[in-house]
Each structure stands twice: as C-alpha cells, then as structure tokens.
Amino acid sequence: MKFYSTADAGFEAAFAALLNEARETAESVDQAVGAIIADVRARGDAAVLDYTKRFDRLELTARTLRVSTAEIDAAVAEIPAELMAALDLAAERIEVFHRAQMPTDLRMTDSAGLTLGMRWGALDAVGLYVPGGKAAYPSSVLMNALPARVAGVGRIAMCVPTPDGVLNPLVLAAARRAGVSEIYRIGGAQAVAALAWGTASIAPVDRIVGPGNAYVAEAKRQVFGRVGIDNIAGPSEVLLLADADNDPRLVAMDLLAQAEHDEAAQSILITDDPGFADAVAAAVTAEIPLLPRAAIAGASWDAHGAIILVRNWDEAVALSDLIAPEHLQIMTRDPEALFARIRHAGAAFLGAFCPEAVGDYVAGPNHVLPTGRTARFASGLSVFDFLKRTTWVAADQASLARVGPAAVALAEAEGLQAHGRSIALRLGKN
C-alpha cells in the first residue's frame, strides 16, 4: 500500500505516477484474437466448436451449443428459495430504476413552420457475454440484460463459457429472470466473433455487452464497427472520501470489497485525518487474513492500494475528479454537498450506510461502469445503450420557402450544385 500526503513536496509527481500506473495485463493478444475472429468468420460453427473443445475441454455439436429449456428448468429447481427471492428482489429493483430512465420522443414546430422530431427505438438484438468458471456473476447477468429488456430489445442472446461442462445454476436463473432469449455454452474471443458475425447456429446481434478476460476485451475492440459494444472494461476500482467520524473497520472492508475482485483492482482512501488514516491501514492489515480471497485482496492492496492525506476537502474534490473513479464512496458529515462539487465518477454512494457493495446487487443503478479514469467521458450501462435515436423533419411549401434560400446558398458555396438545385426547384427557381 502507498501512502501520500498533499503536504509533501513530491506529492504531485507521486500522484501522477499513481494515476498513470498500469494495471491492465501486459499480454499482447491482438494477433491471436484476430486469428480466432477470422477463423469463426470463415468456418462458423466448426471453428466455435473446435475452440470450445480446446479452451474449455468441452466437446459440443451444433445441436448442443445452446442450453436447452430443460437444462434451465433443472438448474432453477436447484436454487434455494431464499436465494431465488434475493435474485428476484435485485431484478425488481434494477428493472424499476432502468424503467424510470426511458426517454420520451420529441416533436416541435419551429418559428419557420418546420416540424422537427426525434424518435427513440430499441435495437433488434443484443449479445450478452457472461464470464464462466470461477468468475460466474449472476448479478452481472441482471445488470446487462434487464436494461436491454426494459428498452424493448426483441432478442437477447447470452454466451457463457462452461469449462468442463459446468454451468452455474444461478447464472441460468438470472438469465431467465432477466428475459434472455437464448443461452450458448461458449466463451472467449470465439463467442464474441459468433455474436458479431453470426454462424449457422447463432444469429448475429447489433451490440455486445458484458465483461470478460483480455481475449474477450480485445475481441470486442476488434468487432466494434461491425456491432456496437458497451466499453472495454479494465480492473475494478473504488475511491473512498471518509472523515474521522467513521468506523475504521467499515472503511477497511469497503476498500477490501474492491480488492478481492482481482489482483489488479485498486482501492484508494482520501481522508483529512492522519490518525484515521493509520487506523484504516491497520484495520485492512488485520482483515485481509480473514478473507477467503485473502491472497487476491492482499495482492491488490499491496500493489495498488493507496491512502492519501489531504489538508482540506477542497483538495479531496480536486483529486477525486483527477482519479475519475469507477466507484466513489463519500462518507462525510454532508456527503450530498461534497458530491455536488464532484464532476467525474461512474457511480457514487453517499453516507456511512451506503457501501458500494449494495450497488453491485440490489440498489438499482447499474454496476457496469467506466474504469481506468474513463468516467471523465463515459457513463455506466443504461437503457440508452440499447436505444438509438432517429431524427425527422416535415416541411410544407411555405416553411421550405423560409429556410430554403439559405440552404441553396450554402450548398453552392460548398460546390454541391445538385444539393442546391434539389431545393431551388421546389422554390420555383430553375
């Protein structure tokens, strides 16, 4: 863990190094991914089946690529009632929040008499990538699929790798609850390629969303343009702004909740009290050995964790905007007032009783968020990722007469005579 103080002479250089710290994998996979995508485009199902056998140790046929309704029924039957109730509660809250986001169409008549509008419409089909094996997250299924369903997407196809044929029952239950249309037991770059380009068994989609490893991220990068994507997600991160009125152990657990995701995850605390900073650091050290994922959380905290001591909260606000964190927790006497001054964060959690972890599951807003400082220009997943806008214009002879001459003049200035004449002829000019 690194400790910084804004009062130190070398703080600016040290903080810049923290911001520029590389936490992504150094592995170069672009050529390997490109070869897989080309193979899937050329051979379709056969390539997907070959890669699944090679990487997931699972031999499938075109008929068994898709998870059957009977398999989903059996998986759902295994889930304890209490856990299913928790899944339903999460789904309901996520759905309600995203339904409130739905925009309305625009229609207006301007001073020239033209009628102008903007119409919202859902995508036809989306593909959802869900990690498999050890990293099986039913909550991510809900967070990715429910906004698409709320937006009105007609077809939601999901790909989930099943190493050695193992399917996570709760992932299948979440998919059914969220309205996923079809589920395929494939993963990796080959799944992304199949969703983007289509095969005999898997129809292509219009947008691909969902997290994955370096190969999945690179595949999404390479198919962008053929289809839309949500983002290229990096390691998870959290920034806590906390004063000394908080329990150091609670703050420590909030830091470790991110650290246990991945060795490359990052947890940062900013505080104005040196004694509190020391107490939190000690609490983190004490809690790590007690975690089942102690090795992962410990590696993350040791390599990427940081505590920053500020002289005042003005400094904290400025640093927060430079970090532009994926998750921002504010645990101060007036968290809303402090949040009002902060411009860049993927999602914010306000108050001592609102840990970021509640946002991962049941708060309602989406947990698919911009990482790696991209909250400066990007936003979390929402219904808008599954909608597109179409603008429209209606004009009559009178309204065209009011604005048309200016359009003709501009078209002629640009050397596009046919443009100008298409308007001028309607204005009665040769």
Q: Which of 261, 304, 327, 367 is catalytic?
A: 327
Distance CA(325)–CA(323), nearest Å, equals: 5
Crossing angle for the helix pair 248-259 and 294-304, to the nearest 10 degrees: 100
- Residue 257 makes CB contacts below 8 A (sequence gap 6+) with 238, 355, 356, 357
**CA dihedral defined by 194, 200, 204, 210, rounded to 10 degrees?**
-40
Q: Which of 218, 237, 260, 326 is catalytic?
A: 326
Pair 11, 5: CB distance under 8 Å: yes
Strands 306-309 and 2-5: parallel
* β strands within 226-362, DSSP E: 228-229, 237-242, 266-271, 306-309, 327-331, 347-350
Catalytic residue check, 327: yes
Token readout for 29 is 């996979």
**Phi, psi for 90 (deg, rounded to 5):** -60, -45
Burial class (CB in 10 A: 0-12, 13-18, 19+), 84: middle
Distance CA(314)–CA(274), nearest Å, equals: 17
Displacement of CA 193 from its chain's centroid (Å):
19
Residues belonging to the active site: 326-327
